[in-house]
Amino acid sequence: MLLSNTCIYGLRASVLLASKHGDKFVTIRELSEELNISFHFLTKVLQQLTKSEILQSYKGPNGGVKLAKKASEITFMDVVISIDGNNIMKECALGMPVCSELKPCPLHDQWTAMKGNILNMMNTVSLDQLAANRHTDTLYNSYIAHARKE
Amino acid sequence: MLLSNTCIYGLRASVLLASKHGDKFVTIRELSEELNISFHFLTKVLQQLTKSEILQSYKGPNGGVKLAKKASEITFMDVVISIDGNNIMKECALGMPVCSELKPCPLHDQWTAMKGNILNMMNTVSLDQLAANRHTDTLYNSYIAHARKE
DNA sequence: TATAAATAAGATAAAATAGTCTTAATTCAG
DNA sequence: CTGAATTAAGACTATTTTATCTTATTTATA
Ligand code: SF4
Ligand code: SF4
């Protein structure tokens, strides 16, 4: 919708790699099974990330892929750009006929603010943050409390 | 990106119709020329809006399409649902592997807030608001001032 | 009533995206 | 050196989206 399917696969695999936080190579087979993505397709996607030097790969026995840098140094945006290119969110999703800097449509301010938020979050959130399961007891409990009500 | 191309065409045509604010039928040919969209393709798109009773159409000489209701009573969302269906923004564009209510990824709060904003704006903004060119002198002047600097 | 002006409907084509499969290249272990 | 494990590369297929083209159908008007 916002990101291509392919890109989401790449993100998921990258986050999974980050969560394994080892310096060992992980086989794409293992990733594909854990993520339930076709091995062959995931291979293609990860080849792209390897080309972009986000991942490092190694062939042969004990080979596989791993992050090329520390998970804290790879942003969400790095992966997105590698796969979906850097036009993400450049054009407006609304594309109203009156659209221009001089004649913005009524949604413009809100839209550009949201766009900024999304881009900002993509640029600042790193793989390690995504890998960290941020769920807290507080949230968990409030969810349980909510679930109990029904 | 967020909306399909087809949906954007539908929106543009609807807004253009709203801006013509007459009760007369407008030919799709005229709309397609003003919007620079293929006549045949636009015809298809508008047929869908007609089926959804957002537009009303009339065949034959002096025929065409027009809004089926007042522009203030048709929301952005009405058009979106008619063309892109009502799953818009139901699934998250990020789809991280840790995603669930219990184990949200670190982007979850910001994402759901933005999602809410988008849906809210789609639900509340009507075609007449979109048709109104909201540009003010203030904005215009600040733009000009900005442009002059370069 | 005949003709022309329109939309409706549906067949077809083209392009983009997603997915599969086969073969090549590299590397380790024996 | 050989064979197995692994990614790389590229051909191929399938699906979805976008676009075009053709043929109905409806309606006004001369
Ligand atoms: S004016 Fe702004 S929000 Fe509206 S269509 Fe243009 S870029 Fe998008
Ligand atoms: S936790 Fe929230 S933001 Fe993260 S992938 Fe799931 S729905 Fe999207």
Model confidence over A123-132: pLDDT tens digits?
Answer: 999 999 988 8
The DSSP secondary-structure symbol of B106 reads T
* pLDDT top residue among A137 and B112: B112
d(CA B124, CA B78): 10
Chain A: residue whose CA lies nearest to B16 = A97
> Of the candidates A1, A91, A134, which has its C-beta nearest B93's C-beta?
A1
B72-92 b/e (C-beta count within 10 Å ≥ 16 → b): eebbbbbbbbbbbeeebbeeb
Which ligand has an atom closest to residue A113 CA? 1
Within 6 A (CB) of ligand 1 lie A 92, 94-96, 99, 104-105, 107-108, 111
Instruction: Give the nearest chain B residue to A36 (CA atoms).
Output: B97
Distance B110 CA to D26 C1' (A): 52
pLDDT along chain B (150 residues), means of 10: 90 94 93 95 98 97 96 96 88 72 80 85 92 56 37
DSSP chain A: --S-HHHHHHHHHHHHHHHH--SS-B-HHHHHHHHT--HHHHHHHHHHHHHTTSEEEE-STT-EEEESS-GGG-BHHHHHHHHH-TTTTTS-SS--TT-SSSS--TTHHHHHHHHHHHHHHHHH-BHHHHHS----HHHHHHHHHHHHH-
Q: Could you give the dihedral angle defined by the CA atoms of residues B99, B104, B105 and B106, in that order, rounded to the nearest 10 degrees?
A: 170
Q: Regarding predicted confidence, which is higher, B2 or A94?
A: B2
Closest nt by CA–C1' to B58: C7
**Total-model pTM:** 0.86
Task: Give the residue among A1, A9, A5 at the shortest CA–CA distance from A34.
Answer: A9
Query: Whole-angstrom Cα distance, residue A110 to residue B76?
Result: 15
The answer to whether residues A74 and A67 touch, using CB atoms and an 8 Å cutoff, is yes
Residue A94 Cα, gap to closest chain B Cα (Å) = 6
The count of residues in chain A is 150
- Fill in the DSSP letter of residue B71: G
pLDDT in tens, A34-67: 999 999 999 999 999 999 999 999 999 999 999 9
Chain B span 5-34 residues with beta carbon within 7 Å of strand D: 5-6, 9
What amino acid occupies position B125? Answer: V
Amino acid type, A141: N
Average pLDDT over residues A24-35: 96
* Backbone φ/ψ region at A37: left (φ over 0), alpha (ψ -120 to 50), beta: beta
Q: Which residues contact ligand 2 via a Cβ below 6 A?
A: B 92, 94-96, 99, 104-105, 107-108, 111
